[in-house]
Chain A
Amino acid sequence: MGNEMIANGGVEYVAASYIITWVVLGVMLARVVGSVRRARSEYAQASKGEFQT
């Protein structure tokens, strides 16, 4: 019976840790993809400038 109590306790901590992990990974994903996209357009613009001269 004691086991039952322990086994059901702390579920909110488990849920919190998974949610935090997914949020952090999601933010990282958005940042990484965004930075690549920005850098790619930056490069396209810069190299276009080179060809114009």
Chain B
Amino acid sequence: MSPAPASSFAPPKPTPVWLGWLTFAFFIFTQIYAVVTSPADAMMGHLQKMMYVHVPAAWVTFAAFGVVLVASLFFLWKDDERADLLAASAAEVGSMFCGLTLVLGMLWGRPTWGVWWSWDARLTSTLVLFLIFVGYLALRSFVEDPHRRGQWSAAVGILGAINVPIVWMSVKWWRTLHQIQSNPRGLSPEYLRGLLLNVAAFTLLTVWFIWKRYEAARLERAAEHASQAAALGGYNG
């Protein structure tokens, strides 16, 4: 057998199958539970039910970006390719949830504020985060060399993470239109339980998606390495 020079070339352990089933079963349960148990809100009516998809999606977007930041820093620190692949997986999943958050926010904004979009700090910084995700993934697709791709995208990810709170701050300064941070403690318990359950379900979904993407990325690298080794005549004497 080949001596396996770096652990990132070995094929990964498969993502546990039970986690996938558990995740989706839990997700379906929390969605139905939240919609069925929540009474129509006095102010927003049934629109309140959008909270159970919009707020969890926003939360996991920022959590996924946190994973990108931490994995990027770890990659630059230890030069472990697995951290780079994890960052890339989290960026792919995060960008999907970020786009979903934006669309759901617009769908919520239209009937409540009367506009699809407003230039306030939270909306704008989420949009900028989405653009940074897009740039990050574009950079990865345009650079072939794995080491170079890792270092460059780590730099882009870290600077992007610095940028998002700065955008938030400057847009807040520029224009503050409406609503205070929606505070979970201000919610009545029948809404809060559904919200927290859905946040947990979305977090599980994100973990599972990132894990699967990471497994695929590791397998691709392992396959590349194995075919290179085969082309060189194989290490196995």
Q: Which residue of B lies closest to A16 (CB)?
A: B107
Is B96 in contact with chain A by the CB < 8 A criterion? Answer: yes
Q: Which residues on B sit within 8 Å (CB–CB) of A35?
A: 212-213, 216
Contact of A14 among B24, B46, B220, B224 (CB under 8 A): B46
Which residue, A9, A35, A38, A51, has most C-beta atoms of chain B within 10 A?
Answer: A35
Contacts A42-B223, A47-B226 given; does A28 touch B57 at CB 8 Å: no
Query: B226 contacts A18, CB within 8 Å?
Result: no
Query: B104 contacts A3, CB within 8 Å?
Result: no
Interface of B is mostly: helix
Contacts A21-B53, A42-B219 given; does A10 touch B45 at CB 8 Å: yes
Q: Which residues on B sit within 8 Å (CB–CB) of A16?
A: 107
Contacts A32-B213, A50-B236 given; does A17 touch B223 at CB 8 Å: no
- In whole angstroms, how far apart are the Cα atoms of A26 and B69 in the complex? 27
Number of A-B contacts (CB under 8 A): 115
* CB within 8 Å of A: which B144-195 residues: none
Query: A14 contacts B212, CB within 8 Å?
Result: no
- In whole angstroms, how far apart are the Cα atoms of A49 and B111 in the complex? 59
Q: Which residues on B sit within 8 Å (CB–CB) of A38?
A: 216
29 CB < 8 A contacts A-B: A6-B43, A8-B45, A9-B47, A10-B45, A11-B46, A14-B49, A17-B104, A17-B108, A18-B35, A20-B103, A20-B104, A21-B57, A24-B96, A25-B27, A29-B209, A32-B209, A32-B216, A33-B212, A36-B216, A39-B216, A39-B219, A39-B223, A40-B219, A42-B219, A43-B220, A43-B223, A46-B222, A47-B226, A51-B236
- In whole angstroms, how far apart are the Cα atoms of A26 and B15 in the complex? 18
B158 to chain A, nearest CB (A): 25
Contact of A32 among B41, B99, B212 (CB under 8 A): B212
